Structure 1
């Protein structure tokens, strides 16, 4: 069974064509539930909309409203809206062909069906996870949170037949006109980590990438990007070598690797020397919180201040990437933290902001909700990321989820062979 997130859409089975009512990225940016605000501070009176709990969503608007558009007053150029193939696409991409195609249509199609309903949500960015090889081990207990690697069975060379389900969806996205592809990494391959696993432990130190393996890691990523471009026709626009590097990643529930700014600098320098990237920008650091972009770890200063010892602004993309987790409610800084971020970004002229991962976490994340409350909650986060923080791209976490959680655009049965 397949379910899609939407506004009161209910369950839709995979044996029919569904009228589409998607959650994101086309919730129309919450125009109807985002009244004009003074966004210079957090606003205690801002109407709350907790997922699944409703809330005061009313707006007081006159019967007639005049909107004046000034085309000379421009903002950021949008690079697109997307989602990732973690972790279910490795299985879904090997389901029966008709079901694969139906899911790909829902994610990527931009046209109309015979009833003039949208055939799909039209994602314009697709995030491809280059796995670390945790699927070759059993250290991560949940099979659906492991990932393969392009290394062969002996872990001694490449096997380009690996990750077949994910590669099928790369082709499906390209065939349906997706213009932008991102290759992202949660952990270096298990052959390059200090503990031989795809997550950290208490003895890991500042990073689980083994000392001196920066060049090997960079070469591995460049080889993957080169092979998929030259042999499968997929040109990656971005390579993202880190994911939420400030977290310790010791729980062992999914692939992950911590990195200090100095650790990241060494990897970035090695990647910049690889010609196999062929135009793919290096995008960093995919911070797990926007709070660490302009303060805390202060990745803006670390990587984009020319006086910083870890300055990388001359070799990475002209943007900084972060995730909107735990700042998605008024009381956690929905407005104020994005005002702070925008002010910090403005100290680096020309630097863009990429919001590269979000789903509903914490107490509000539990349980699937295909209705309007969660849709409006997500749309509100999107609104302030785009309007206040000035994000140039906005990317959801799981395109397809088997979980009872608010993390998927499409929900499926947890079956590896069919569903």
Structure 2
């Protein structure tokens, strides 16, 4: 992603968009949400985060690893706050594009606007040799991002995606991994198309053989159609027009297959739903066949053709992920709104937040990698909002049809448990009745109890607070939501 607007402007736009959604739906007063287990949207794979950039600064921090990748209750750095671990089971590892050694007399050109924390160190130093054992490769690079990935693995993370923001600098026309000299200009040299995929596949193969990491997917692009990847940009990035993508994808397919890697080929990680749909529709059948998984980013927020993208991708039998989402709303209301829109319309099987540690508003936890020393600050309310989803909708559950766009239901067939996450995004309280009559048996816990967890996004009330005050009766239960509140329910003893 790229942050080109000031956070307070972002927040104003988001809240206006949410207000529009509220005015167009049954968002005030009381209503009933019904769930249909005979229609489902696939098996849930999980929630995750990108490791770049935060992990290359905080990659030795075991407390952060526990917070992000377990469901334990973890004592925060202030010594008093206890955080519910998010239980993320997906990490996206960034293959770096920067090195600071000469390559046959050429040096990397650095954008005057890029900070060191946004530069990820790469492994391939020069084109002299493709042999990963040669001195053309530096496998000591990027130690902290790799270390956090290893700690994530040891805490049970199940999916590892390798992605590229930019090819290694020496593969680009202007030797600058931030982008081309002009907007919307391809920056990867055509004669390095295959080398870029060799780089990605070599990292994946080396990781399997030496790091005990098996990448489950590889994406050679990041927001490739964007016109914001320019030489004076603030991060690594590279424009690939659709024709360039169509040239690179077969090379990536060949490298994955020839090395017998088990990784899926993912593409194209476009910035938003509209661009993703346009890119996918521009691919011919052979390119679509080469792609195993379609990744899209959620920066269109409340807008965009989510349903159309789902239909286009699902009709080809491809996996669909929202592989990157982020915004500057510290409350988490925007996150809940857009995540529920994704689950109701896009139907991804995984959902990944961009930076769990970032500046105020963007991060789940406020952090400044550029401070001396780097700092870690307050926990945002949006952290607790994500916990309402990620701690309960777990890997292997099935997302089932909901009549209500503000509620999602996930069924655990192993433990006969139904999880419902619902949000009142309106500015006034409302009562929601949950109708489970389409299930054959609904018992609830002891005495019909339905445990619930609640977060009020204004930050003044519940923050992932646990309650035992709700009971199932005749396969139904009703709950009053305060304004702009997210609640999670776990109903035991549910049978199809």
Q: CA RMSD in A?
A: 3.1
Unaligned runs of 5+ in 2: 1-16, 102-107, 129-134, 376-496
TM-score (norm 2): 0.61
The alignment's TM-score, normalised by the length of structure 1, stands at 0.72
Contact 1:400 1:409 in 2 (8 A): yes
State the match for 1:39 in structure 2. none
User: How has the CA–CA distance of structure 1 residues 92 and 187 changed in structure 2, closer, same or farther, with 3 Å as cutoff?
Assistant: same
**Cα distance, 1:61–1:93 mapped onto 2, change above 3 Å:** same
Aligned residue pairs, count? 335
TM-aligned CA deviation for residue 390 of structure 1: 1.0
Of 259, 269, 282, 1:276 maps to 259
Residue 338 in structure 1 maps to residue 311 in structure 2: no
Supply the distance in 2 between the matched residues of 1:43 and 1:120 (Cα, whole angstroms).
28
1:60-105 deviation line (CA, Å, top 9, x unaligned): 226xx6x6544322212222111101212112125xxxxx001111
Answering whether residue 264 of structure 2 is matched by residue 289 of structure 1, we say no
Q: Which has more radius of gyration?
A: 2
Q: Which residues of 2 match residues 367-382 of structure 1 at below 5 A?
A: 370=330, 374-382=331-339
User: Which runs of 5 or more residues in structure 1 are unaligned?
Assistant: 1-41, 49-55, 95-99
User: Runs of 4+ in structure 1 displaced over 6 angstroms?
Assistant: 153-156
Do structure 1's residue 312 and structure 2's residue 287 form an aligned pair?
A: yes
Residue from 251, 254, 261 that aligns with 2:235: 254
Aligned ranges for residues 4-83 of structure 1 at < 5 Å?
46-47=21-22, 59-61=28-30, 69-83=35-49
Aligned-partner Cα distance in 1 for 2:26–2:365: 25
- Which structure is higher in RCO with an 8 Å CA cutoff and minimum separation 6? 1
Which of 355, 361, 367 is matched with 1:412 structurally?
367
Normalized per residue, which structure has more strand? 2
- 1:4-403 alignment, distance < 5 Å: 46-47=21-22, 59-61=28-30, 69-94=35-60, 100-112=61-73, 119-133=84-98, 138-141=110-113, 142-152=115-125, 157-202=136-181, 206-248=185-227, 249-250=229-230, 251-274=232-255, 275-276=258-259, 278-294=261-277, 298-303=278-283, 305-306=284-285, 311-317=286-292, 319-325=293-299, 327-329=300-302, 333=303, 337-345=305-313, 348-360=315-327, 365=328, 370=330, 374-401=331-358, 403=359
Residue 74 of structure 1 aligns to a residue whose secondary structure is strand
Contact 2:174 2:181 in 1 (8 A): no
| Alpha-carbon distance between aligned partners in 2 of 1:236 and 1:132, rounded to the nearest angstrom | 19
Give 1:407 deviation, angstroms: 2.0
Q: Tell me if structure 2 keeps the 8 A contact 1:194–1:204.
A: no
Q: Residue 199 of structure 1: SS of its match in structure 2?
A: coil
Which residue of the partner structure matches residue 385 of structure 2? none
